[in-house]
Structure formats: structure tokens, C-alpha cells
Amino acid sequence: MNEELRKKIEGLINSHKVFLFLKGTPEEPQCGFSWKVVETLKGLGVKFGSFDILSDEEMRQAVKEYSNWPTYPQLYLNGKLIGGCDLVLEMAESGELKKLIE
Amino acid sequence: MLTTEIKIKLERAFPGAKVEIEDESADHAGHQASGAHLAVEIIYGGFAGKTKVEQHQMVYQALKEDLQRTVHALRLRTKEPASEQTTGEEQ
């Protein structure tokens, strides 16, 4: 991955305390897994930044490589990947997500 | 069977692990052409000391080729044997 893309990704994930790469937008997620994570974050009243990876094929590949994580959505907290849909839902259920974000 | 193939692959990658796989493709009829939807649960001693993100990365790594070809979506749950006893079915 080139340096420019790496910087772009790091700029994004550090732009908000909570940041989501998803398919579609928080208003209109284009995939059930992205939708579930958006609903979970909204349910917790969490404000988050986001990027629609369907809008940029280069970024779609680069973020997977950056995080060593093959699927979307990907949720970042303080610039660090905390999970995809399964982990986010698991942490939401256990109450861990709320604690982490607060 | 794809599920059997994946199960064997995971048991090789994670020796001694308890692996359970369910094929949920039928729940996603309509875009089956893009590949199988599988639910996988792995209980593995080697997950000890790893974060959940790292545990999932280990599984994705083991199934890298399959995720590019035959498996469209993976619902994944990873656990350590000890944590299963203490927090297994807790709500």
C-alpha cells in the first residue's frame, strides 16, 4: 500500500474517537451487517465519523490491507480496530462496547 | 460439502479446537451466487492472551482463500475454553 493511502486511512480513523468504514452511509447502509452496526451505535447514542467504501474501490482494498481484516464494516476506537459486525454486536450485548466508548 | 471442508481446515489450523459450523446460505437466498454464508464457532486454547480482534484475524487468515472464493460471509464467534465456562450462556 502506498504512503498516501496509509496517511489517508490514518487521518480518517483519527478524525473521530469512533470511526466506521461501512458499505453505504449511516443514513442508508447498503448491507445488513453495516446496518446492524450503525443501529447499534445509534442505539447507544454514539457520535461517529464514517466512510463509504463502496464509493472508492482503491480505499476498499487499502483499508482491508491496512487492518488485516477482510470484511466490512470495520469499527475503530481511538484509531484502533475494535471489530467487525460480530464483535461489535457481541460487545454491545455484554455492555463492553458502552464501557469502551465512554 | 463446503462446511466439512472448512471444518477440517480449521481443525488443522487450530489443533485441539472445538469447531462448529452452520450453513446459513438458505437465509440469504437471492444472492447465493456470491457464495456461502457460514456461521462458525471456535473454542480454542490458543486464543488465550489474544484480543478478540486478533482471534478473528487468525481465523480469517486460515480461511483467506475460501473467503476470496467460496465463502461470501462468515458469522464468527471465537472463545477460549476457560471463558466459555465462566461466561458461556450468560446474558
Mutate to test the interface with B, among A71, A77, A91 (most CBs of B within 10 A): A71
Kindly state the helix (H) or strand (E) to which residue B38 belongs, with its residue range: strand B36-43
Using pLDDT thresholds of 50, 70 and 90, give the confidence band for residue B89.
Answer: very low
Question: What percentage of chain A carries pLDDT values higher than 70?
Answer: 100
Nearest CB to B53 within list A33, A82, A94? A82
CA B1 to chain centre: 16
Domain positions in chain B: 2-82
Q: Which CATH class is domain B2-82?
A: alpha beta
Interface predicted TM-score (ipTM): 0.87
- Full-model pTM: 0.87
Average pLDDT of chain B to the nearest whole number: 86
Q: What is the DSSP letter of B74?
A: E
Lowest mean pLDDT among A50-64, A68-82, B22-36, B51-65: B22-36
Q: In the structure grid, which three cell numbers stand for residue B38, read together?
A: 457460514
Q: What are phi and psi of A75, to 5 degrees?
A: -110, 130
Position B55, amino acid? Q
- B36-43 and B18-23: which strand pairing? antiparallel
Nearest-by-Cβ selection for A68 from B57, B67, B87 = B57
Question: pLDDT (tens digit, 9 = 90+) per residue, A70-85?
Answer: 999 999 999 999 999 9
> CA A17, A22, A28: angle at the middle one, nearest 5?
110
What's the pLDDT tens digit per position in A42-54?
999 999 999 999 9
Report chain A's mean pLDDT, rounded to a whole number: 96
- Enter the DSSP assignment of B31: S
**Residue A81: its chain B contacts at CB < 8 A?**
53
Unique residue bearing C-alpha cell 477482510 = A70
What is the domain range of residue A16?
3-101
Cβ under 8 Å to B: A residues 61-80:
68-71
Indicate which CATH number applies to the domain containing A13.
3.40.30.10
d(CA A38, CA A46): 10
For chain A, the domain total comes to 1
